[in-house]
Amino acid sequence: MFDSLKEKLGSFREDVEESAEEKAEAEAEADADAAEDAPDTDSSDAEASSSTAHASTTDAPDATAESADPEPAGGDVDPAEDADESGGPGFAKRAKSVATGQTIIEEEDVEAPLDELEMALLQSDVELTVVDEILATIREETIGETHRFTKSTTGVVQRALRKALVDVISVGQFDFDERVAAADKPLVIIFTGVNGVGKTTSIAKMAQYLEERGYSSVLANGDTYRAGANEQIEEHAEALDKKLITHQQGGDPAAVLYDGVEYAEANDVDVVLGDTAGRLHTSDDLMEQLEKIDRVVEPDMTLFVDEAVAGQDAVQRARQFNDAAEIDGTILTKADADSQGGAAISIAHVTGKPILFLGVGQGYEHLETFEPERLVDRLLGLDG
């Protein structure tokens, strides 16, 4: 799942490690050079040179004052000046970094890898504002961080990357099961989204998911628009042994869903799962219809369904559906197909509503609770 993004995140880590390693090597060399110079210049030598200096000053008057004095004195002073330079603050800092085995990540160490990461995220269909947020967090978490040379660079970068991703992905996250448990029954859940993304299939999966947790459900087919919609959902209802409420094609979707709620109330059913026709987020009429459903049925939850493979399009649609009839969360389907992962990373941040489930196949069992940390660990290869 999201293999190419996983690869790109891996190479970002390697890039930072590489540049940190180069830096560490350069510093180690500088330290080695300094260390070579150092013995001539530190305390014992300093004493030696001061004693020679002393000797030369005392000797100077009687000995070869004219010729030898200025020259050898200059010769003695030069190395002493060198010693002052390499023994100055820069040297002290490097010496300390050698002694403690630590170095500091600077902006220049991460800038080039971050540029690469930015490209990679955009190519993976991560939304622009989400990319900015991720990069800002990584900068915040890495630059100025002291770390023990290359070994722990991985740790620092890994932690920063993980935090940056978890932060944007887990926006608005809530526990779906807890919300279902706490809700007054019947709980009404409406599924919206564009054509063919997996709304009806997700409803069927959800009916099974709820049954496994001890909740009864009734399906109500608010897709009165598409020919064959009743027959399709009926197959699922039969396979799952669930009651299905339908009206004729062309009927009012809000009325079907309303009937679903009445049925649930009369029969002590826990959850109403309401399907709707696929609609374009740009079609005003159909979006108005969604608003009407909202008013008439007053759903407890509206779940936006889209497919992971739609990338940026899914992100924009999520935004527009949320504007038209406020969504509570997203089901991202077809995560089993090869997709870029941008939608999974961006939707929560863009809508302020969490992704709650991933569709990971066509079977009823292929509905996976979305766990941001688990996804991020998967992307970073930390899932063992």
Ligand X SMILES: Nc1nc2c(ncn2[C@@H]2O[C@H](COP(=O)(O)OP(=O)(O)OP(=O)(O)O)[C@@H](O)[C@H]2O)c(=O)[nH]1
Q: Which of 184, 217, 6, 11 is nearest to 114 (CA)?
A: 11
In the complex, the smallest distance separating the C-beta of residue 139 from Mg ion, rounded to whole angstroms, is 44
Supply 332's token pair: 């991202």
Q: Which is nearer to ligand X, 97 or 200 (CB)?
A: 200
**353-382 burial string, b = 16+ CB within 10 Å, else e?**
bbbbbbbbbeebebbbebebeebbbebbee
In the complex, the smallest distance separating the C-beta of residue 114 from Mg ion, rounded to whole angstroms, is 42
Q: How many of the chain's residues bind Mg ion (CB under 5 A)?
A: 2
In the complex, the smallest distance separating the C-beta of residue 277 from ligand X, rounded to whole angstroms, is 6
Supply 251's token pair: 């009927």
Name the region of 229 (left: φ>0; alpha: ψ -120 to 50; beta: rest).
alpha
| Distance of alpha carbon 374 from alpha carbon 312, whole angstroms | 22
In the complex, the smallest distance separating the C-beta of residue 226 from ligand X, rounded to whole angstroms, is 6
Residue 123 interacts, among ligand X, Mg ion, none and using kind-specific CB cut-offs from 5 to 8 Å, with none
Residue 329 interacts, among ligand X, Mg ion, none and using kind-specific CB cut-offs from 5 to 8 Å, with none
Q: Which is nearer to Mg ion, 83 or 190 (CB)?
A: 190
In the complex, the smallest distance separating the C-beta of residue 195 from Mg ion, rounded to whole angstroms, is 8
Stretch that binds Mg ion, among 78-86, 197-205, 301-309, 343-351 (CB under 5 A): 197-205
| Distance of alpha carbon 342 from alpha carbon 356, whole angstroms | 16
Q: Which is nearer to ligand X, 137 or 221 (CB)?
A: 221
| Distance of alpha carbon 295 from alpha carbon 298, whole angstroms | 5
3-state secondary structure of 74: helix
Contact call for residues 209 and 367 (beta carbons, < 8 A):
yes
What is the total residue count of the chain?
384
List, in sequence order, the alpha helices (H) in the chain.
3-41, 43-59, 70-86, 89-100, 107-123, 128-142, 149-169, 176-182, 199-212, 229-240, 253-266, 284-297, 312-324, 342-351, 372-379
Per the listing, tokens 């969490």 go with 354
Q: Which of 215, 241, 23 is nearest to 113 (CA)?
A: 23
Backbone φ and ψ of 280, nearest 5°? -80, 135
Q: Which is nearer to ligand X, 87 or 251 (CB)?
A: 251
**What residue type is assigned to position 222 of the chain?**
G
Residue 8 interacts, among ligand X, Mg ion, none and using kind-specific CB cut-offs from 5 to 8 Å, with none
In the complex, the smallest distance separating the C-beta of residue 200 from ligand X, rounded to whole angstroms, is 3
Residue 341 interacts, among Mg ion, ligand X, none and using kind-specific CB cut-offs from 5 to 8 Å, with none
In the complex, the smallest distance separating the C-beta of residue 165 from ligand X, rounded to whole angstroms, is 22
By CB under 5 A, the residues from 60 to 79 that bind Mg ion are: none
Q: Which is nearer to ligand X, 206 or 360 (CB)?
A: 360
Residue 173 sits in the site that holds Mg ion (CB under 5 A): no
Residue 337 interacts, among Mg ion, ligand X, none and using kind-specific CB cut-offs from 5 to 8 Å, with ligand X
Name the region of 170 (left: φ>0; alpha: ψ -120 to 50; beta: rest).
alpha
Supply 1's token pair: 């799942």
Residue 222 interacts, among ligand X, Mg ion, none and using kind-specific CB cut-offs from 5 to 8 Å, with none
Per the listing, tokens 């709707």 go with 276
Largest Cα–Cα distance of the chain, in whole Å? 123
Q: Which is nearer to Mg ion, 199 or 205 (CB)?
A: 199
Q: Which is nearer to Mg ion, 299 or 372 (CB)?
A: 299
Rg of the chain, C-alpha, whole Å:
34
Q: Which is nearer to ligand X, 171 or 308 (CB)?
A: 308
In the complex, the smallest distance separating the C-beta of residue 307 from Mg ion, rounded to whole angstroms, is 13
Residue 195 interacts, among ligand X, Mg ion, none and using kind-specific CB cut-offs from 5 to 8 Å, with ligand X
Residue nearest Mg ion, Cβ-based: 200
In the complex, the smallest distance separating the C-beta of residue 2 from ligand X, rounded to whole angstroms, is 14
Residue 200 sits in the site that holds Mg ion (CB under 5 A): yes
Q: Which is nearer to Mg ion, 39 or 228 (CB)?
A: 228
* Residue ranges in contact with ligand X by CB under 6 A: 193, 195-201, 223, 226, 278, 333-334, 336-337, 359-362, 366
Residue 246 sits in the site that holds Mg ion (CB under 5 A): no
Residues at the site binding Mg ion, with contacts judged by CB under 5 A? 199-200
